Structure 1
Amino acid sequence: MFTKDHVQRILEQAEKCRKGIENREIVGDELKGRVMGSMFYENSTRTKCSFDAAMKRFGGGVVDFIAEASSIKKGESFEDTISMMDGYSDVIVLRHPEVGAAERAAAIANKPVINAGDGTGQHPTQALLDLFTIRSELSTINGVTIALVGDLKNGRTVHSLAKILCLYKNITLHFVSPLNAGLEMPKSIIEYIKIHAPNFSMKTFTSFAEGIRGVDVIYMTRIQKERFTNSEEYEKVKGSFILTPKILNESREDDEDYDILGRNNNKLPIVMHPLPRVDEIAPEVDADERAAYFRQAQNGVYIRMALLKMVLGNL
């Protein structure tokens, strides 16, 4: 739904929020007296906590909906629950295991609904913070080469990132998934890219080493156990790709210290991950300055501050 201009405004506002917090300046009380309804039907650490922090940074309040302790245990429908929260809050942030749940909620609610993840579908706020991270780390988004690695079938984060990248130019995407595991990027996403970004280059890999060679960004994802109906199938592919310091160092073998965009190749590729990780990134990578995933998670607060400010009419 976002235009390039829309995204740029969000990224610029997020940068202002980042600087304000890092400089210990008062960010503001623009959302004082406003209430965010936090509705998470699936477990979450980063998305839930960063949305809560974002609302509170602007002086707003949060009403927590806890599925296990709610009236859905008594048989209350999804639609009725949304109607209740719509009456208690000014904006609803929804995570749900069903693809399309946010659209269902938006059709019922009178207040804005933000999709915080819908099953194997989309995770748009993650895509925005991913853009913010790439721009912060590399100074540009146009022209980068990004390897999307792991469970590309069920990974809503890579679905949303691939789509929103279509607003930019000359990007190369490496789709890296385990051989014969059925975890490839869905054809619908690939077709979307072909239509909306015909200038993109897309390549498919089953070799981890080949898929990440020479890229600017390694975007790791976990194999999502909760999306498998058969535990044996999960065990077969678990641990297929593990990023170690050795593999990271071998991924970029440039003759020159700087690439054509003037970036220091010794600081490439950066490593991103929507988290949580299981075993796909060795803990030893954490100390490497190229490991951007914890900075990426922190960026979620700034992006979600900008979004809340926007949907509540202040941006």
Structure 2
Amino acid sequence: MNKNSLLRIRDLSKDELMGILEDAQGFEVLHKDWQLPESKLVANLFFEPSTRTHYSFASAELQLGCKVEDFTAEGSSVEKGETLYDTVKTFESIGYEAVVIRHKKDEYFTELENINIPILNAGDGAGNHPTQCLLDLLTIYQEFGKFEGIKLAIIGDISHSRVASSNKEAMELLGGECVFSGPKEWQREGWPYMPIDEAVKWADVVMMLRIQKERHASAMSMTDAEYLAKYGLTKERAKTMKEHAIIMHPAPVNRNVEIDTDLVEAQNSRIFKQMANGVLVRKAVIKRAFGVKEF
């Protein structure tokens, strides 16, 4: 597999991770002016629905001067039984120089070891979401200028969240603290748990998660209003946050379910800032994928 692929946060060293964040900050200064030394042909292969990840990758690719193809399984040979490996190998064989993949299977990339072009993981099942984690980290770093000692509370549907997994790995690597909260049936064994009211008061960063109903075997046992009252970020809970603390969410946001709608664009919310940072981070990982060292 290509050494410049990005599959999991734990595959990166601390220096590599910080290097990506430094490049992302560089792109914030350069805005849309810098492009790759030569145009590259990139395919975005999304086997699951996506708005932010898909189109921020596309925006990043186009701003960097890439030629972009957006693939959907519907209408392709996947409907005839073609394997993921054969689909990706086809794109490699016909001249594509990198692929961005989102897939419902955890760690789908273990099937792609004989692919030689860079693979950028746009999310695998409930396993990993490295670029979402990197944009979350960039948002935290912009706010606090460090990771050491920063307290991150991730609250909600933990067991089905690839965001939770990647952020836990990153904060452990970078010297931050990470706790989890939400319904106990959605917790992961061995992960540090804290009741929501304690977690909101404890944290420097309160990150709410969407209920991933598409991954649940059965329907949720409570109403949206009940969930918000028990496990969501209400306006009352938000008042107990530290004065400097910020609200984050990987989105899409289910307003008035995991978070009160009035808090989505509150003064201490960074939810839409995260989205903007997604383009910067994805520019940085594309630059890395093609082995470009300097601006």
Q: Which of the residues 8, 13, 19 maps onto 1:9?
A: 19
1:234 to 1:309, Cα distance in 2 relative to 1, 3 A: farther
Relative contact order, CA 8 A, sep 6+: which one is greater?
Answer: 2
Query: What CA distance in whole angstroms lies between the structure 1 residues aligned with 2:130 and 2:156?
Result: 19
- 1:233 to partner: Cα distance: 4.6
Query: What CA distance in whole angstroms lies between the structure 2 residues aligned with 1:174 and 1:161?
Result: 11
**Number of residues paired by the alignment?**
278
- 1:129 to partner: Cα distance: 1.1
Structure 2 residue ranges without an equivalent (≥5): 1-10
Query: What CA distance in whole angstroms lies between the structure 2 residues aligned with 1:295 and 1:232?
Result: 30
Q: Is the 8 A contact 2:156 2:232 kept in 1?
A: no
- 1:96 to partner: Cα distance: 0.3
Following superposition of structure 1 onto structure 2, how do residues 1-315 of structure 1 map, counting pairs within 5 Å? 1-21=11-31, 26-30=32-36, 32-87=38-93, 88-105=95-112, 107-169=113-175, 171-179=176-184, 182-187=185-190, 190=191, 203-205=192-194, 207-233=195-221, 238-239=227-228, 240-252=230-242, 266=243, 268-278=244-254, 279-315=257-293
Q: Percent identical across equivalent pairs?
A: 31
Q: Is the 8 A contact 2:153 2:178 kept in 1?
A: yes
Query: For each residue in 1:213-241, what CA deviation from the matched residue of structure 2 results, as whole angstroms up to 9, or x when unmatched?
Result: 13100011011101111125576985442
Q: State the SS of the aligned residue for 1:95.
A: strand
Query: For each residue in 1:102-128, what CA deviation from the matched residue of structure 2 results, as whole angstroms up to 9, or x when unmatched?
Result: 2322x1311011111100111111111
Q: Is the 8 A contact 1:125 1:304 kept in 2?
A: yes
Q: Is the 8 A contact 1:147 1:174 kept in 2?
A: yes
1:156 to 1:79, Cα distance in 2 relative to 1, 3 A: same
Paired amino acid for 2:148: N
Q: Is the 8 A contact 1:244 1:284 kept in 2?
A: no
Q: Is the 8 A contact 1:149 1:220 kept in 2?
A: yes
Q: Is the 8 A contact 1:153 1:185 kept in 2?
A: yes
Q: Is the 8 A contact 2:171 2:178 kept in 1?
A: no
| Superposed structure 1 runs of 4+ greater than 3 Å apart | 232-240
Tell me the TM-score normalized by structure 1: 0.83
Query: What CA distance in whole angstroms lies between the structure 2 residues aligned with 1:289 and 1:32?
Result: 41
1:286 to 1:310, Cα distance in 2 relative to 1, 3 A: same
More off after superposition, 160-169 vs 234-243 = 234-243
Tell me the TM-score normalized by structure 2: 0.89
Q: Is the 8 A contact 2:47 2:73 kept in 1?
A: yes
Query: What CA distance in whole angstroms lies between the structure 1 residues aligned with 2:57 and 2:154?
Result: 25
Paired amino acid for 2:26: K
Query: What CA distance in whole angstroms lies between the structure 2 residues aligned with 1:82 and 1:140?
Result: 38
- 1:210 to partner: Cα distance: 1.6
Query: What CA distance in whole angstroms lies between the structure 1 residues aligned with 2:86 and 2:177?
Result: 44
1:31 to 1:52, Cα distance in 2 relative to 1, 3 A: farther
Query: What CA distance in whole angstroms lies between the structure 1 residues aligned with 2:220 and 2:148?
Result: 41
